[in-house]
Amino acid sequence: MPVEKQNVHGTAVWFDEAWYWYEQISNNSLFETQAIKMFARISVECPGHVDWTDKLDLVFSRLLRALRLGHVTGLCQVFNQEYGTIWLVFMMGTKAHSKLMSNLKDLFNQIESFLHPSNNGLHTQYIIILISKLLSNTVLRLKRERSERTQQRSRTNMKVIETAKYAKVWRPV
C-alpha cells in the first residue's frame, strides 16, 4: 500500500495509539508480546512507512532488561526475541538505520563481557538466543531480498546486501 493510502486507510490510523499503550504497559503484559508481533509485522510488510528512530531507545532498553544481565530478582521484562529480532532486522535500511546500527553496536559492547566463559549464568542462554535469532532473521531477510530480485518485485527499500555499515557491527574487533 502506498504511503498516501497508509495515512488514510493503513497503520497511520491506529499506530500512535498502539505505540502509546506499548510505552505505558510494561513488565510481563500479554499486550507487550502482541504489540511486538504487530510492530514486527509492520516492519516486514510496510518497510519504511514508520520512522522508528525516536522509538529505538525504548525498544533497546526493554531488550536489554529482558536479557536478565547481572543479579536479577523479581519480575523481569518480557521481550519476545523471535518477533523482536524480526522487527529489528526489518528496520535496517529505513530512516532509523543509522541509529539502529549504533544501538546494536552499543548492545553488543554491553553484553560482550557477559559472554566470557567465566561469566556463565542464566543470562548466557538469553544472549545466545538473541544472537542466534538476529542472525537467522538476517538470513531470512537476505533470502527474501534475493527472491524479490528474481521475481522482479521489491518491497524492501534498502537492501541488506548493499549496506556496508551493517557488516561492521557483526565483525569481531
Q: Are residues 97 and 148 in contact, defined by beta-carbon separation less than 8 angstroms?
A: no
Mean pLDDT for each 10-residue chunk of the chain (173 residues)?
A: 62 83 79 90 86 93 84 69 93 91 94 84 87 94 83 59 52 50
Which pLDDT score is estimated for 2? 59
3-class DSSP string for 147-162: HHHHCCCCCCCCCCCC
46 — phi, psi (to 5°)?
-130, 65
Q: How many CB atoms are closer than 10 A to CB 166? A: 18
Which pLDDT score is estimated for 173? 46
71 — phi, psi (to 5°)?
-85, 115
**Measured distance CA(63)–CA(107) in Å, rounded:** 9
Q: Where are the domains of the chain?
A: 3-170
- Rounded to two decimals, the pTM is 0.79
C-alpha cell at 6: 497508509
**Measured distance CA(130)–CA(108) in Å, rounded:** 11
- ∠ CA(154), CA(37), CA(76), 5° rounding? 140
Which pLDDT score is estimated for 164? 45
How many CA atoms, within 13 angstroms, populate the side-chain half-sphere of residue 153? 3
Which pLDDT score is estimated for 107? 94
